Structure 1
């Protein structure tokens, strides 16, 4: 059973897949809407990760 990737690893994987998709389809009709949608998802994941990190730090401080 493999270990679950961290949020940062997941974000990096999504980003690399998105870039690969973008570069391999550059000569075709890739809509900017598709790219904007993917970037919005990445930003949301990143924002959620940052919020979880802040909450975890706050929780640890309260436990001291």
Structure 2
């Protein structure tokens, strides 16, 4: 069940991305922004974004320490 409109989601994501830039410039990757666009359209959930990013960065971390 989706409780936010696409505009509300877009506004929320804009706020979240901009608030992260208060401590310095942070430019989200193209891949991250693709996830955001898909979430706004209802194609994936924020939970799926978390899972995809956790999987990606967990495996990269493991590659570094192995």
What interval of TM-score do these two structures reach, taking the shorter chain for normalisation?
0.3 to 0.5
Q: Which has the higher contact order (CA 8 A, sep 6+)?
A: 1
Question: Which structure would you say has the larger Rg?
Answer: 1
